[in-house]
Amino acid sequence: MPCVDNVLESSLCRCPQVEEKSLVVNHTDRKRCTVIVLNYNGEHLLPACLDSLIKQTDAAIDTTVVDNGSTDGSAALVASRYPEVRFLALNSNFGFSRANNAAIQDALERGSDYTLLLNNDTFAATDFVLQMLSVMDADPTIAAVCPKIYFADKPTTLWYAGGDFNLWTSATRHRGWMQTDEGQFDDDRDITQATGCAMLVRRSAIEKVGLLDEQFWIYAEDLYWSVRFCKHGYRLAFAPKAHLWHLDGATNVKVLAKGSEERRQFLTTRNMVFVARKHVRGWQIPTHIAGFMFHHVAFYTALRLWRRDFRALWAIYRGLIQGLRTPLTSASDQL
């Protein structure tokens, strides 16, 4: 991970120049979980999220808000209403990967056994963390666990009930998307695509595989992490009894992109190309390219035309070009 001196404005900044294995520290046998809430100008979102974390039952957690240079009073809100919450203030918007990496490393240095990445535009059921931990603790080969996620404005409609990704076809899938939850996805099952919206990650898996790849900035970094975990022999699991509600796009569409999908479309397209360039093998290239052109480029071209979001339409092709032209970095370079 790059040095975060000059990035963190708080006295919590620590930046040892270490190899990956030096993330291991001595800590007690008691399992500790740090919930990491990423925030950017989310003063209006944080109360629902943090209040739901305060109400968690039978789970020993501590909470860190890592703030991407907010200017809206988020820091004052946390200081006044949530003094027990650790606040890491970054001096600019460094995106999802770099900001979470700073908070993950801080949590590991403090002895956390698990880190739970959580969007600020979410709120959780009272047993949310407990249910996630019960699945994680059942098998030491599980690297990450994701919950059942609903749309906040449609509280019984599913946003995510597990995810899958196929390197052969470039197909990604949120199981249960836009379906009413009637228990049809209550099976415990392995997944191949975890979501960074809410992802509980095992310490030892991070120590072995590494942190989030900061070249992705935001979008598909969770997919890339999922691929890396699986390639190292870990499982990814779905916790159907852990329930979370999500305001989809509350930061990246409404706050940053002023209602257009341009920003999300550009970064998603570019980063999916990064995933392919970093992980697709020679014998998979023909089917992966065909699948990507169908599942992503053609589909989103038609969608943006139908919605008349021409900024997002052009962003598809800008993302494709930049994804192909940008020199690749290795996630291990960031440790």
Strands (E), the chain: 33-39, 61-68, 86-90, 114-119, 122-124, 142-151, 154-160, 163-166, 171-174, 190-191, 198-202, 235-246
Across the range 223-239, mean pLDDT stands at: 95
Point out the least confidently predicted range of 23-32, 148-157, 209-218, 275-284: 23-32
Angle of CA points 166, 167, 169, to nearest 5°: 70
Q: What is the set of domains in the chain, with CATH numbers?
A: 20-246 (3.90.550.60), 262-334 (no CATH)
Tens digit of each residue's pLDDT (9 = 90 or more) over 73-132: 999 999 999 999 999 999 899 999 999 999 999 999 999 999 999 999 999 999 999 999
Q: Name the band, by pLDDT with cuts 50, 70 and 90, for residue 28.
A: very low
Q: Rounded to whole angstroms, how far apart are CA atoms 91 and 40?
A: 11
- pLDDT at 172 (0 to 100): 87
What's the pLDDT score for residue 250? 54
| Burial letters 125-139, b for 16+ CB under 10 A, else e | bebbbbbbbbbbeee
Pairwise CA distance, residues 124 & 236, whole Å: 21
Is 148 a residue whose pLDDT tops 90? yes
What's the average model confidence in pLDDT over 197-208? Answer: 97
The model's confidence at residue 18, banded by pLDDT at 50, 70 and 90, is very low
**pLDDT for 10:** 36
Max avg pLDDT among 12-16, 57-61, 253-257, 317-321:
317-321
Residue 17 pLDDT grade (very low, low, confident, very high; cuts 50, 70, 90): very low
Cβ pair 236, 191 in contact under 8 A: yes
Average confidence (pLDDT) over 53-59: 89
Answer for the pair 215, 225: CB distance below 8 angstroms, yes or no: no
- Joined tokens for residue 246: 């999500």
| pLDDT at 12 (0 to 100) | 38
Q: What pLDDT, in 10s, does the model give residues 30-45? A: 589 999 999 999 999 9
**pLDDT band (50, 70, 90) for residue 189:** confident
Other C-beta atoms lying within 10 Å of the C-beta of residue 290: 13
The model's pTM is 0.85
Please give the Cα distance from 268 to 118 (Å, whole number): 19
Which one, of 252, 295, 264, lies nearest residue 165 by Cα? 295
Average pLDDT over residues 147-156: 95
